[in-house]
Amino acid sequence: MKQRTRVLLADDDPIWRKLLPHQLSAGEFEISTVGDGRETLQVLSEEDYDVVLLDVNLPEVSGLEVLKIVRQSEDAPEVVMLTSDKSLQTGVEAMRRGAFDYITKPADAELIEAVLRKAVEKRGLIKENRILRAAVSSQNRIGATVPVHQSPQMKKIYSQAEIVAKTDTTVLITGESGTGKDVLARWIHASGSRAELPFISINCGALPENLFESEFFGHEKGSFTGANQHKIGLIESADGATLFLDEIGEMPLAMQVKLLHFLENGEYRRVGATRDRKSDARIIAATNRPLEEDVKAGKFRADLYYRLNIISLHLPPLRKRKEDIPELIEYFLEKLRLRFNRPRLEFSHFAKETLINHNWYGNIRELRNTIERAVVLSPNDFIEEIYEPGNFLKHESFAPNAPAAIELLPLEEIEKRHIRQVLKQVGGKREKAAAILGITSRTLYRKLKELDLEN
């Protein structure tokens, strides 16, 4: 069912306030009324309206002063001024101050309805443009990264993703850090019916806990200290589009309840608001954490996990799909050729084998950074050596019958040693270490505690 246009009629004439709501189409317009300027501002601070029919000559606070205050809001309703001034001077002044239009009283309901419809149409266009600008400015639009893969595992995953992309169902993407979860999420969005709308991404691990609700759902002006204007949240910005929640496992438990409510009902409420809103945002979530274990430990809600996990796509680590490495090498090398204007860049056979045979615990992100480092440090365009920070990358033989010269260790111990080594290389600087590891500082802090590496 189409949602009715919410209209606030602000007029000090009680007959007009009583008559007009009965004249307008009840199925299309939901009319509320107020009698003075102060009450108008109070109601607008508590409720959301699409259009305000605002009389110029209001008591307490004049209509033009109310207009000035209303237009300062980020998500302001359109304002149509009502005036008895036949000279048109007042109406023209109102439009100069930001009113959408003006109507000279008395006016018939048919004219008012036509103006209201045009005002709503304009507000919708403004909202769409705001969403698009936000998506472009945050560089979250689809564009650069094309999925590169040759391995049977990845072909199967992208075949499943192609089917999922044609639906609006929730998707949970799992896999180690750096395996390309964001690339898969963007590809799903770009392959579906929402491709022309923004792909909006947020890293849950990068948000301070006290800002989660405001960032996701927005807030009303004055709802807390520092809330000087209305704020549109991510859920509202992604209406009709896709919202990608990276590192969903870092979301606080209190926020998980509210996200679940939105997933179940498509409804949310801004901080400080008194009524729910609706959004048709598609949710794709990703995590490098074992959410099943977090559920058992009480760190993640079971009901939210099951709601997110309707479709689950698991990306295997790069060391288990080495067939993808040669194509990834060429893909990243081509980008660097263009970036550095070095069209003859090429790896030697030895260097390429070194890259293919290495165990990439940082996955694709680590491979990409290693290739860029080799290009930057190479004295010429024929690259023969691969460097890790402060050292050469060890080349391991790729002969089929060569004995495995690796120490077999539990995964936790491998992770522990790798984190310790990275911290050593960066002089203990945790923010820098987190960036190299491809995780947030908050995630690194948690891992240091879990792996007893704080000292």
- Residue 244's pLDDT is 96
Output the pLDDT for position 3: 65
The whole-number pLDDT of residue 394 equals: 54
CB neighbours of 281 closer than 8 A, spacing ≥ 6? 234, 235, 238, 239, 240, 241, 242, 243
Give the pLDDT confidence score for residue 138 in this predicted structure: 43
Per-residue pLDDT, 389: 56
Task: Report pLDDT for 403.
Answer: 40
Greatest Cα pair distance, the chain, in angstroms, is 96
Place of tokens 């890790």: 388
Q: Per the structure block, which two tokens stand in for 195?
A: 């491709």
Q: What is the pLDDT of residue 235?
A: 93
Q: How many CA atoms lie within 13 A of 362 on its CB side?
A: 19
CA distances, 238 to each of 183, 284, 285, 336 (Å) = 18, 12, 14, 33
The pLDDT of residue 399 is above 50: no
How far apart are alpha carbons 258 and 279 in whole angstroms? 14
Stronger pLDDT, 429 or 397, i.e. the higher one: 429
The overall average pLDDT reported for the chain is 83
Q: List, in sequence order, every residue forming a beta bridge with 314; answer none if it has no partner.
A: 174
Residue with tokens 């691969």: 386
DSSP symbols for 382-423: EE---EETTEEPPP----TT----S----HHHHHHHHHHHHH
What's the CA gap between 50 and 80, in Å, rounded?
11
- What is the per-residue pLDDT for 398? 37
Q: Report DSSP state, residue 339.
A: H
- pLDDT-derived band at 88, boundaries 50, 70, 90: low
Rounded Cα–Cα distance for residues 351 and 230 (Å): 55
Which pLDDT belongs to residue 101? 85
> Per-residue pLDDT for 449 more than 70?
yes
Share of the chain above pLDDT 70, in %: 88
Q: Which helix (H) or strand (E) holds 353?
A: helix 349-357
For 283-309, the pLDDT digits (tens) are 999 999 999 999 999 999 999 999 999
* Per-residue pLDDT at 392: 53
Question: pLDDT-based confidence at 409, cuts 50/70/90?
Answer: low
Residue 171 has pLDDT above 90, yes or no: yes
In sequence order, the 6+-apart residues with CB closer than 8 A to the CB of 206 are: 247, 440, 442
How far apart, in whole angstroms, are the C-alpha atoms of residue 170 and residue 159? 17
Q: Is the pLDDT of residue 186 over 90?
A: yes
Task: Tell me if 136 sits within 8 A of 250, measured CB to CB.
Answer: no
Measured distance CA(49)–CA(229) in Å, rounded: 15
Q: Residue 441: count other Cβ atoms within 10 Å of its Cβ.
A: 15
Average pLDDT rounded to a whole number, residues 152-164:
93
Give the model's pLDDT for residue 280: 92
HSE of 3 in the Cβ direction (CA atoms, 13 Å)? 10
Residue 141 above 70 pLDDT? no
Which tens digits make up the pLDDT trace of 122-140?
777 666 555 555 544 444 4
Mean pLDDT for 346-351 is: 90
pLDDT given for residue 124 in this prediction: 73
Rounded to 5 degrees, φ, ψ at 104 are -85, 125
Asked whether the whole model's pTM tops 0.85, one would answer no
pLDDT above 90 coverage of the chain, percent: 35
Q: Is the model's pLDDT at 397 over the cut of 50? A: no
Give strand pairing partners of 53: 9, 80
Q: Quote the pLDDT of residue 316.
A: 94
Report the range of poorest mean pLDDT among 59-68, 298-307, 317-326: 59-68
**Strand locations in 224-343, DSSP E?**
242-246, 267-268, 277-278, 282-287, 311-314
State mean pLDDT over 248-272: 93
Token duo for residue 106: 């008395």
